[in-house]
Structures are given as C-alpha cells and as structure tokens.
Amino acid sequence: MNKGWKKEIKDWALTIAGAFGISLLIQSYAFAQTEVQNISMEGTLIEGQRLIEDKVSYVLTQPKRGDIVIINGPESELRLIKRLIGLPGDIIDMKDGKLYLNGKQIEESYTRGLTEPRGLALPYVVPEGKVFVMGDNREHSMDSRELGPIAFSSLEGKAVFRLWPLDKFGNLH
C-alpha cells in the first residue's frame, strides 16, 4: 500500500512538471501575453491594455499590411507595438497629412492626427527583407519615420487578441 501512494505522488509530480514545461514552451515560442506600454497606438490600443501575441504566424506565413506587430530588435531599445504599413518594394508617401501607398491614398479610420514624414525622404521605397511600420497615433509615435525600416527578423509576432480591459475583450483589427 505504501508503494502505491509514493507512485501516485510521483505520477502527479511528473504530470504537473510536464504541464508547466509545456506551458513555458508555448509562451516562449507560440503565444504570449504582452502589455501596451505607450500611447503610440492610441485610437486602437491604449496604455495598460493586455494583448495575446501570436509568435508562430510569421514562421509559417508572411506579414500582411495592417497587422499590429510586436517589434523586438536592434532598431529600438524598447519593445514596440506598431501597425505594419509597407512591405518590401512598397512606395510610401505622405502629402497633406495623409498616407499614400504605391500612389494611392490609404483610408485609415483607426489613426489619430496627421501623417507627417518627420524628415523621412519621400517617396520612400521599403527595402527587401524589411517592413515599414507606424503607430496609429501618428503625431505621438516613434516608428519607421525615425527608426527606419524594420527587419523581418525583428518582428517577434503579431497582436491578435485583447484580454484587458474586459469591455474591449476580443479580436484586434
């Protein structure tokens, strides 16, 4: 009887340790929770909101214009959350506070403020292996206009779901 009790504890301990290990792997390599740390995405995201980040998608598929991306690379000392605006070969232009992509004005209902170049030489062609990102709060965002293009390797993942606050709970667009 004593051996059965010890085996039961050992089995439970192994199961709990395995579940803990698997959850760490999933959080490190597949999905993670992240918090919005600044105001650069206001209009869509506000400081303090908690998000689910998909870290797997960009291993399997290419980033898309409009994705809300998490950037963690040498372009910035900070981990950033921005909207992906341009892909390699895209031509970015800004006129009269509006954004133009490949010669066409982009309708951006999610932005705040005017879209100004801030010293970026326009028109700007996004280089191969890089993307162009901007915050939705255009007048208060440090983004590709200052940092330059972002390497694909610096895209940690994309924000896909808002957890907090509960009244904003749901998918991100």
- Asked if 82 is an active-site residue, the reply is yes
Other C-beta atoms closer than 10 Å to the C-beta of 143 total 24
Q: Is the distance from CB of 168 to CB of 41 less than 8 angstroms?
A: no
| DSSP class per residue in 68-117 | EEEE-STT-SS-EEEEEEE-TT-EEEEETTEEEETTEEPP-TT-BS----
| Range ranked top by mean pLDDT from 13-17, 51-55, 109-113 | 109-113
Residue 151 belongs to domain spanning: 33-171
Residue 109 vs residues 7, 8, 56: alpha-carbon distances, Å: 61, 58, 28
pLDDT, residue 118, reads: 87
- The active-site residue out of 10, 55, 82, 144 is 82
Inside any domain, residue 68: yes
pLDDT, residue 77, reads: 84
Q: Please tell me whether the peptide bond between 74 and the residue prior to it is cis, using omega within 30 degrees of 0.
A: no
Query: 162 or 149: which carries more pLDDT confidence?
Result: 149
Choice among 96-105, 136-145, 159-168 with the minimum mean pLDDT: 159-168
Per-residue model confidence as pLDDT tens digits over 23-70: 665 555 555 667 667 767 777 777 777 777 787 787 778 899 989 898
Q: Is the distance from CB of 147 to CB of 88 less than 8 angstroms?
A: no
Structure-token pair, residue 142: 């440090």
Inside any domain, residue 124: yes
Distance in angstroms (rounded) separating the CA atoms of residues 103 and 74: 30
pLDDT, residue 91, reads: 96
Inside any domain, residue 28: no
Inside any domain, residue 24: no
Inside any domain, residue 75: yes
Please report where in the chains the tokens 């959350």 appear, as a residue: 81
Query: 169 or 50: which carries more pLDDT confidence?
Result: 50
Inside any domain, residue 7: no
Structure-token pair, residue 157: 């993942």
Inside any domain, residue 27: no
Backbone angles phi, psi at 34, to 5 degrees: -135, 160
Name the CA radius of gyration of the chain, rounded. 21
| Range ranked top by mean pLDDT from 2-6, 80-84, 85-89, 152-156 | 85-89
Percent of the chain with pLDDT strictly greater than 70? 79
- The active-site residue out of 3, 6, 28, 40 is 40
Q: What is the CATH number of the domain that holds 108?
A: 2.10.109.10
Other C-beta atoms closer than 10 Å to the C-beta of 130 total 19
Which string of b and e fits 45-78 if b means at least 16 CB within 10 Å?
beeebebbbbbebbeeeebeeebbbbbeeebbee
Q: How many domains in the chain?
A: 1
Distance in angstroms (rounded) separating the CA atoms of residues 76 and 13: 42
* Rounded mean pLDDT, 139-164: 85
Inside any domain, residue 163: yes
